[in-house]
Amino acid sequence: MTLSDIANDYVDDLGLRPATLDLEFVQRLNRAHLTHYTFNSLSVVLAQEMPLDVTHLHNKIVTRRRGGYCFEHNKLALHVLSELGFDARLLLAKVVYNRDTDVPRTHRISLVTLDGDDYLLDVGFGPLGPRHPVKISTPEVQQQGNEQFRIVNVERGELGLQVYKDGDFFTLYTFNLHHYSEAECTPAHFYSHKSPDAAFVNNLVIAKKSDNQTESLRNGTWQRTDNGTVTEHTIASEEQLNTVMKEVFDLEIDLATAAFLFKKFVRPSLNQ
């Protein structure tokens, strides 16, 4: 497939025709991507190769429905937007989770400019990520379904993406508007899926998000948030893990793989 074919197939797969160069289309893309393709660490925890060429990403995410994490999801989405003619480019962010800490830029996001306004697009952050593009030029709260997001100035030219969580605004990550190259993603991507200290290396993480419902799994805990109501379940067996991965997250994983994941990531969490 050509790069143009990949973009067209992605658009068709998500039912995004007609593809017009406006904010409504980017909003539709954001929602549809999160609904159809899972955020997960499967390739990381199974020690699979994770090349970032667009052909591989399309095959993995769109054709095989295996999902991925930020360097995969957001690169594919950026490629599609660029092929369609949007003014969009790569940004890199620091995941801080509301801490005052200095960490490397290990999260990939996209900047989309429409009618003179800049928007943050992120289809690869997992259960806490935004469902719609977030306008950057305003500090006002932006309602997205039953969630609220805002972007605030942090310091030294850094901006922070915040979500309203547990009664207050919580900073997910910080970023700036510098121009980054694909080459700068290489060390961050390598760290994120190879370092023994990386969160994705040490945790089985899966998430899928629709308009008012979020499904997420982290090791032995499966959580569903439905219109703001949270229901939590404990994964008690490899068979249950296999069923949840198939029926909730649409991931076709054989029982042997589920057993391996249960033994390595779920069972230890049950004993904590």
Catalytic residues: 70, 107, 122
Structure tokens at 234: 């404990």
Burial of residue 67 (CB within 10 Å: 0-12, 13-18, 19+) is buried
CA–CA separation, 67 and 248 (whole Å):
14
